[in-house]
Structure 1
């Protein structure tokens, strides 16, 4: 598995500014977390678990392809970092 944190540099109020992805060898999205400026965390998984976001229907592009657009910055992160943000998203939504 690969774990990415993608910063999306924009001024859209209703769009996430951080997107975390757990990707398999073919760049298929297994799980995703979206972080919004108002503090909300959305998540989705390939097995149907969803809150405020949906699983991608297409595989993710490569890091080079994403970073070809200057509004995106990709960072490869650890599984531990991904699991921490995933667990925060799940716990946070249980309080709503």
Structure 2
């Protein structure tokens, strides 16, 4: 597993500004949180979804590729960081 935290720099009101994902070995999202400028947090996993968030249907690019675009800044985070965010923001998490 890999856990990534990506900031997205843009002016689109309806799009998230932060994406935090748990990725499998093929880089498909297993769980994802999307943070919006207005404070809303969307969540998605195989067990449910909230606030219009859904899992991607293609593998997530490597962090080097993500960071090659000036609109994004991503980093790997420890599993514990992801789990704490998931516990706080995923309404359907067990």
TM-score when normalising by structure 2: 0.90
Q: Which residue is 1:82 aligned to?
A: 82
Moved over 6 A (4+): none
Q: Which residue is 2:63 aligned to?
A: 63
Gaps of 5+ in 2: none
Which whole-Å deviations, capped at 9, do the CAs of 1:36-66 have from their partners, x for residues lacking one?
A: 1111110111x14111211101110111111
| Count of paired positions | 91
Deviation at 1:12, TM superposition (A): 1.3
**Alignment pair present for 1:32 and 2:32:** yes
Q: Which residue is 1:16 aligned to?
A: 16
* d(CA) in 2 for partners of 1:15, 1:56: 15
Gaps of 5+ in 1: none
The DSSP-based 3-state class of the residue aligned with 1:27 is coil
Whose helix fraction is larger, Structure 1's or Structure 2's?
Answer: 1
TM-score when normalising by structure 1: 0.88
Deviation at 1:9, TM superposition (A): 0.7
Aligned-residue CA RMSD in angstroms? Answer: 1.3
Q: Which residue is 2:50 aligned to?
A: 51
